[in-house]
Amino acid sequence: MNPIYERFPWLLMARRNVSRTPVRSALAALGIVIGVLAIASLGVFGTTLQYSVTQNLGGIGNDVTVSPATDHGVQYLTDRDVREVRRAVSTDVVVPVEQGRGTVTYGRSQTIAPLYGIDRPGGIFTAADGRIPTPLRSGVLVGSSLADRLGVRAGNSITVNGKTYRVKAVLEQQSGISAVNANGGLVVPPAAVGQQGYDQIVVRASSARTANRSAMAIKARLNRRQTRVSVFEFSSITKQISNVFDVVNYFLVGIGSISLVVAGVSILNVMLMSAVERRQEIGVLRAVGYQKRDVLVVMLTEAVLLGVGGGVVGVVFSAAAGLVINQVILGDPTFTFAPTNLGFFAAAFAFAFVTSLLSGLYPAWKAANRDPVEALRS
């Protein structure tokens, strides 16, 4: 005999019983397959969406902006504030920004656009066309949508507030949420804005965690005596987005779970039928010395076999579905095996196991407790 059956002898009987009515067993297991597939692939789908959206947000979570605390009468940030911020965060990129508006003329088109006076814009912007000089002294950088509108390219000359500058670079398109969104504006040398002090300081850290640490350090240093600055962490936005996706994910998985419960009902049905059909056979087992508990174990093993069989097939199918989903949405099929997704696979399988066990309980109990005399009466 097979060593597994030697170890777990009731498994032999349960397995043979399951294969006795192959179509019926397969259908019951199919219910579980669908349930597991629903839970796991919806879970994976949710994770993929979440990942894809946070990917699109890019490193926004790494940004912190420091603005003057206008509630406390602070109108602008000074060079001293910038120095304090630099000291507080030491390793991060610190970019002070002055904001204003200006009339921009290129050829025959004229428009009013926001101006961002930044000395070293290379820390927070990337060029789509041309090169970003450090420091920015004589030229300007044009935001992508403004460049589109005016038809400006790197190397052209452009007039801002009556003064002509060379366009050093056209900036890359930025996502909707960013510390300084210069899509529709110009990055100019600070002198071109000509304001007193700075409107904000952008601090870019290497990760959301260091960004958080920097934010704390800045608050501690600058607001020690009186509140001078307000600090905004962009990671709070990504956190909120993540939370929304978590809720969506749980909702999707919850819907998937319903199908697994339905699958459990179908196992219950199959096991009840099986218990009725095998009434006499179970009577014989009881007659030849099987305790009630033994019959219960055999019947439960049958139900669990359906659940585990369906669960394994379901997980394999969900992994396949996950590969497809991730290939299509992220272009990276291996993301299917991210820890969160493995968690969904495990949870779906565990749910299948528990569902089948619970579904088998009543029929098994019924079969085990039937009076053998009654069962053997033909």
Partner 1 sequence: MSERESPPVGAERSVRVVETRGLTRTYQSGPETIEALVDVDFHVERGEFVAVVGPSGSGKTTFLNLLGLLDRPTAGELYITGEDATALGERERTRARKRFIGFVFQQFYLIPTLTAQENVEVPRLLDRDAETPKRAAALLTQFGMGDRLDHRPDELSGGQKQRVAIARSLINEPRLVLADEPTGNLDRTTSRRILEEFQRICTEGVAVVAVTHDELVEEYVDRTVEIVDGELTA
Residues of the shown chain interacting with partner 1 in the complex, contacts defined by CB under 8 A = 1, 6-7, 9-10, 12-13, 16-17, 19-20, 280-281, 283-292, 294, 372-373, 376, 378
Is 19 or 157 the residue whose CB approaches partner 1 more closely? 19
In whole angstroms, what is the distance from residue 331 CA to residue 325 CA? 9
Q: How far is the CB of 301 from partner 1 (least distance, A)?
A: 12
Bridge partner list, 158: 165
Q: How far is the CB of 286 from partner 1 (least distance, A)?
A: 7
Is 21 or 223 the residue whose CB approaches partner 1 more closely? 21
In whole angstroms, what is the distance from residue 310 CA to residue 321 CA? 16
Question: Closest by alpha carbon to 212, among 236, 194, 189?
Answer: 236
Q: How far is the CB of 33 from partner 1 (least distance, A)?
A: 23
Structure tokens at 14: 């349960």
In whole angstroms, what is the distance from residue 121 CA to residue 135 CA? 8
Dihedral (C-alpha) 314, 307, 347, 257: value to the nearest 10 degrees? 80
CB 251 within 8 A of CB 339: no
In whole angstroms, what is the distance from residue 92 CA to residue 361 CA? 61
Structure tokens at 58: 């890019």
Question: Closest by alpha carbon to 343, among 235, 247, 249?
Answer: 249
What's the Cα-to-Cα distance from 337 to each of 35, 185, 328, 341, rounded to whole Å?
Answer: 20, 42, 15, 6
Q: How far is the CB of 271 from partner 1 (least distance, A)?
A: 16
Is 91 or 378 the residue whose CB approaches partner 1 more closely? 378
Is 287 or 320 the residue whose CB approaches partner 1 more closely? 287
In whole angstroms, what is the distance from residue 132 CA to residue 134 CA? 7
Is 12 or 53 the residue whose CB approaches partner 1 more closely? 12
108: Cα within 13 Å, side-chain hemisphere: 0
Q: How far is the CB of 303 from partner 1 (least distance, A)?
A: 17
Q: How far is the CB of 342 from partner 1 (least distance, A)?
A: 35
Q: How far is the CB of 313 from partner 1 (least distance, A)?
A: 22
φ, ψ of residue 64 in degrees (nearest 5)? -130, 135
Is 7 or 108 the residue whose CB approaches partner 1 more closely? 7
Q: How far is the CB of 23 from partner 1 (least distance, A)?
A: 15
A 10 A CB-CB count for 146 gives 22
Bridge partner list, 129: 170
Is 13 or 186 the residue whose CB approaches partner 1 more closely? 13
Is 176 or 288 the residue whose CB approaches partner 1 more closely? 288
